[in-house]
Amino acid sequence: MALHGLDRAAAPPAAKAKAMLREIDGTWWNVYIGGPRSGGSGWTPDRVDEYVAQGITRFLLTYVGRQVIPPRGIDDSRLLTASQGRRDGDEACRIAARFGYGAGTPICLDLELSTFEASNRRSLDYVCGWCRAVRGHGLRPGVYANISALIPLHARDDRPDWIWVAKWVKHKLNRDVDPHRIPGLANNLFSKPGQRAWQYAGEFTGIPVRVGGLDVDLNVADSGCLAGIAAASAVSAVVVGKEDLSIVDEATKKYLDEQFSLIRGRVDRAVQRIGGRRNTVYNDDNEHFQGLVMAQEALAKAEEARKLAKTAVDQLTAIKNHLNIP
């Protein structure tokens, strides 16, 4: 199933982001998680948590690696190597973990056209090194690029699991676009479900694309290219009682187990920031937090911990609402 989404360098406030998705009948946002050449701003774990609290639960995660962009004075030519790609792939996975994502998550590397044109072979060496490292961490590597780079990339052994195609053909929303029918890209390349996203509308010939009064790029993606949706969308049966919730689908059980484990870990860290490791809730010797003493130097972290705990509650609520649990 193809889902519409938005891409913008600067992260809008959560309520605005939700309203913009509503305007295009979309479901996801691209998140610039970082990287040495990331031009994104405002994309933080806290901002993503705010999006989740607004009911936005699907994201395309993008890491911007080494680039060659002459108009901006950027020339990373000497760093376009497989070994540097592996190092950057390791970093991308560490950043993804800070956003709460781990094994099984799709994550994308941005390869600009000018970088590929500067050095076809070296840029693809770098991309494949990145993909190998990301795959080694159990995540699903994807690549954002133009078709001219994606065609030779498909022939590489360490090619990505999926692609995000930069091919602008529109200046406005088109609800009928299909990522598996992209002009200029053969249907047999990255052709399986979950292997394609398409950025089909953006600013070119001086004409911008605007949603909610803001400049954006418009996209459509297979659900398998998006973080936080593939397992949850596989729900086959949910039985809700007064005190019982039975989820039959095994993939959904696994997804929820991972989400609750993640949230529990964040609560643990909040507790430890307040009272230190000896006062963690799972310490049998301190089951009721008897004798908890907060050192003066820990006071500065208490407010941070309070916010972290609230975020955990918001995430639990979002998961509950996503599954339509009363």
Out of 172, 207, 230, pick the residue that ends a domain.
230
d(CA 196, CA 147): 12
CB 210 within 8 Å of CB 14: no
Cα–Cα distances in Å, from 261 out to 48, 56, 104, 137, 288?
18, 20, 15, 19, 22
Q: What is the pLDDT of residue 82?
A: 98
pLDDT one-digit tens code per residue, 148-203: 999 999 999 999 999 999 999 989 999 999 999 999 999 999 999 999 999 999 99
Query: Exposed, middle or buried by CB within 10 Å (0-12, 13-18, 19+), for 239?
Result: exposed
Strand 196-201, strand 217-222: pairing: antiparallel
Residues 41 and 151 in one domain: yes
Query: 129 with 265, same domain?
Result: no
Q: Is the dihedral of CA 20, 25, 28, 32 positive or negative?
A: negative
pLDDT, residue 322, reads 63
Per-residue pLDDT tens over the stretch 187-200? 999 999 999 999 99
pTM: 0.72
pLDDT recorded at residue 291: 43
- Average pLDDT on 227-249 reads 39
Q: Are 145 and 190 in contact (CB under 8 A)?
A: no
83 & 175 share domain: yes
Boundary (domain end) residue, out of 230, 246, 279: 230
What domain count does the chain have?
2
Interval 76-116: pLDDT, tens: 999 999 999 999 999 999 999 999 999 999 999 999 999 99
> Which residues, in sequence order, are CB contacts of 73 under 8 Å at separation 6+?
none
Q: Domain check: are 59 and 202 in the same one?
A: yes
222 phi, psi to nearest 5 deg: -60, 145
Question: Are residues 165 and 309 located together in one domain of the fold?
Answer: no
Tell me how crowded residue 293 is: count the other CB atoms within 10 A of its CB.
8
pLDDT in the model for residue 228: 80
144/259 same-domain check: no
171: CATH: 3.20.20.80
Determine the pLDDT at residue 294.
41
pLDDT at residue 321 tops 90: no
Q: Specify whether the CB–CB gap between 148 and 113 falls below 8 A.
A: yes
Residues 79 and 92 in one domain: yes
Q: Do 249 and 277 reside in the same domain of the chain?
A: yes
Verify that 259 and 113 share a domain, yes or no. no
Half-sphere exposure of 239 (CA within 13 A, CB side): 5
Radius of gyration of the chain (CA): 21
> Last residue of a domain, which of 205, 230, 255?
230
Co-location of 154 and 269 in the same domain: no
Question: Do 74 and 16 lie in a common domain?
Answer: yes
Place of tokens 């030519």: 77
pLDDT value of position 254: 59
DSSP label of 146: -
Domain shared by 95 and 205, yes or no? yes
Domain containing residue 260: 234-322
Strands, DSSP E only, in 119-243?
A: 140-145, 162-170, 196-201, 210-211, 214-215, 217-222, 238-240
Given the DSSP bridges, would you call strands 74-75 and 106-110 parallel, antiparallel or unpaired?
Answer: unpaired
Mean pLDDT across the stretch 44-69?
A: 96
Question: Per-residue pLDDT tens for 255-281?
Answer: 566 666 666 556 555 555 555 544 444
| Alpha carbon distance 261, 284 (integer Å) | 20
